[in-house]
Amino acid sequence: MSDTSFLRRVWLRQPLTDSKVDGLQPVIHEQSQDQPPAIPETQTVLLLHEARQPYRLTDSYPVPELRDDREILVRTQAIGLTPVDWKAPDFNFAIPVLPHISGRESAGEVVLNSSRASRFKVGDRVLAISTDYRDLRKAAYQQYAIAFDYNTVRLPSTLSPEEGSTLGVAFVAAALALGVCMGLDFSSVLDGPDLYTLLRELPPDSLAADIRNECLDGLRAHDRAQPGDWLAIWGGSSTSANLTLQLARLAGLRTIAVADKAKHGLRLSAPDRAARPDLLVDSHDPSRAVAIIRANMKQQQQQQQQQHEGGGEKRRRTPLRFGIDTRGRESAGWLMQALLLLGPEEGETTTTTTTAQPPPSPPATPHYDYSNSESGTDGHQQHHQLSAHLVGLTGLPKQQPEDVVFHTVPIKLFHEVPAVGEALVEWLERLLEKGLVTPPEIIGVQHGLGSVNRGLDRMRKGEISGGKLVVRVG
Ligand SMILES: NC(=O)c1ccc[n+]([C@@H]2O[C@H](COP(=O)([O-])OP(=O)(O)OC[C@H]3O[C@@H](n4cnc5c(N)ncnc54)[C@H](OP(=O)(O)O)[C@@H]3O)[C@@H](O)[C@H]2O)c1
């Protein structure tokens, strides 16, 4: 029996004494004076027994046990449903074992920790982000779930559990896409992380082999996104786009969102919206959307050249070098068109492609012309051969042009590298506390674990659009 399972049993059945819990006791003892919540030995969970089947409500399932002092036990109060919760069973992926417990983000109350040094104490209201789908103890579709302290965010009193449960995975995906794949430094925003630097200070073998290239070789230092750069997001209505837009704006990027304006136009362009893009483009006709982006970026380029270079030699790269697609391979292909170099005739795209690429992890190494650099008028070092960078959250084009680097989000960094997880959750706490990040809109609240299947069906049908569906549990 582990120390912590012993603790839980002791806690339930008899008063703690100093001699019995050796080392761990003082923390628990302090908490026990505040009548710690009783933790049952069993709970209700949702189990997936087979791919393409609904999740089944199951009683008498063991409450998971803490394994080390970085873990806490959280009583689930609200669950944010994410697309992978229905895509995994439908397409039979990310299911390492059957029966499986799913659910990637939840908010609740800390009911047990095992270390005096823990950032959390019993009773704290938290958001638990469970990117670690291989560890069923951490899945959200259960009444009690384990969370690493470095994957857990303390919620400010201004946020309800429902609101807290909406933004975990999207925040992590946004921060890693911007900070790792594009090299954006967040240190000017409430002392946020500079993930690009942080990763290079770690021993390389602390990064899993399948993400090492993305983390260390996907982007050269002088190609990093800088304040003032433009970022385009295709699939601008999604939760991940929402968080990406918010973080990008805070760090000084200018943003373009491509979305269905008939559905989302007013909401996405509302002046008081934290995730309001600088340019909102309708997605209905994708080739027109690309033309609009390129025309606007060309105007920007001309303005910059007039202001700074007296109309000198025209650069073939427009100011748009960064794109994130949240929809899939097809729209990622359109977004790539918007990122391509201008051709010999202004506005004509270059379409030279390399042969079909395997899935973009590891990404191609960007091509640089180090000999051809000059000092830019904005004070940054400029290179004629700066690359464009395209991040696909859910797919990338088959053909990769030579000057566009493909990226996938190394999401496992969050739970596999404590320094990264910690930097992100502590930053999110500050952002939420100061109101600099706003949770996505909640467009539905359902009640009870038993209602999850119904919610996922609504997501399958495309009924949940432009916000989050949340399930209230406890
Ligand atoms: N690689 C990673 O690490 C990572 C991390 C996070 C998310 N993702 C993936 O990124 C994508 C976006 O995630 P998200 O959480 O931001 O999504 P989301 O908030 O659920 O938004 C998805 C958007 O897609 C559209 N949509 C909704 N249901 C749909 C359906 N059944 N079929 C087609 N379109 C539908 C809606 O937009 P419209 O109504 O405007 O069409 C909705 O606003 C998902 O595929 C997710 O799995 C990947």
Is residue 81 left, alpha or beta, with left meaning phi > 0 and alpha meaning psi from -120 to 50? beta
3-state secondary structure of 465: coil
Q: pLDDT tens across 126-179, in order?
A: 999 999 999 999 999 999 999 999 999 999 999 999 999 999 999 999 999 999
3-state secondary structure of 252: coil
Nearest to 172 by CA among 467, 420, 418, 361: 420
pLDDT at 41: 97
Peptide linkage before 271 cis (omega within 30 of 0): no
Check if the beta carbon of residue 340 is closer than 8 Å to that of residue 403.
yes
Domain borders along the chain are: 3-166+439-472, 171-413
Residues for the chain: how many in total? Answer: 474
Tokens 């999604």, residue?
238
Is residue 394 in contact with ligand 1, taking CB distance under 6 Å? yes
For domain 171-413, which CATH number applies: 3.40.50.1100, 2.40.320.10, 3.40.50.720, 3.30.450.40?
3.40.50.720
pLDDT at 116: 78
Alpha-carbon distance 286 to 259, whole Å? 10
Q: pLDDT tens across 411-439, in order?
A: 999 999 999 999 999 999 999 999 999 99
Task: Give the position, in ligand 1's atom list, of the atom nearest the Cα of 259.
Answer: 40
Q: For residue 129, list its beta bridge partners.
A: 105
**Six-digit token pair at 218?**
């996907």
Ligand 1 centroid – CA 326 distance (Å): 6
Fold exhibited by the domain 3-166+439-472: Quinone Oxidoreductase; Chain A, domain 1 (3.90.180)
Distance of CA 171 to the CA centre of its chain: 4
Ligand 1 centroid – CA 235 distance (Å): 8
Nearest to 431 by CA among 181, 192, 221: 192
Q: What is the DSSP letter of 387?
A: P
Tokens 């090299």, residue?
183
Alpha-carbon distance 338 to 230, whole Å? 12
Distance of CA 214 to the CA centre of its chain: 16
Task: Give the position, in ligand 1's atom list, of the atom nearest the Cα of 467.
Answer: 19
pLDDT at 385: 77
Ligand 1 centroid – CA 269 distance (Å): 19
Complete DSSP assignment for 166-220:
TSHHHHHHHHHIIIIIS----TTTTT---HHHHHHHS-GGGS-HHHHHHHHHSS-
Sign of the dihedral through C-alpha 148, 151, 154, 158: negative
> What does each of the 474 residues of the chain score in pLDDT, given as a tens digit?
344 443 443 343 222 223 232 333 223 334 444 566 789 999 999 999 999 999 999 999 999 999 999 999 999 999 999 999 999 999 999 999 999 999 999 999 999 998 878 899 999 999 999 999 999 999 999 999 999 999 999 999 999 999 999 999 999 999 999 999 999 999 999 999 999 999 999 999 999 999 999 999 999 999 999 999 999 999 999 999 999 999 999 999 999 999 999 999 999 999 889 999 999 999 999 999 999 999 999 999 888 878 776 555 556 677 899 999 999 999 999 999 999 977 655 444 554 555 434 344 433 333 333 223 444 444 444 444 789 999 999 999 999 998 899 999 999 999 999 999 999 999 999 999 999 999 999 999 999 999 999 999 999 999 999 999 999 997
pLDDT at 5: 47
Q: Which residue among 105, 171, 238, 456 is best mutated to probe the pocket of ligand 1, counting the most ligand atoms within 8 A of its Cβ?
A: 238
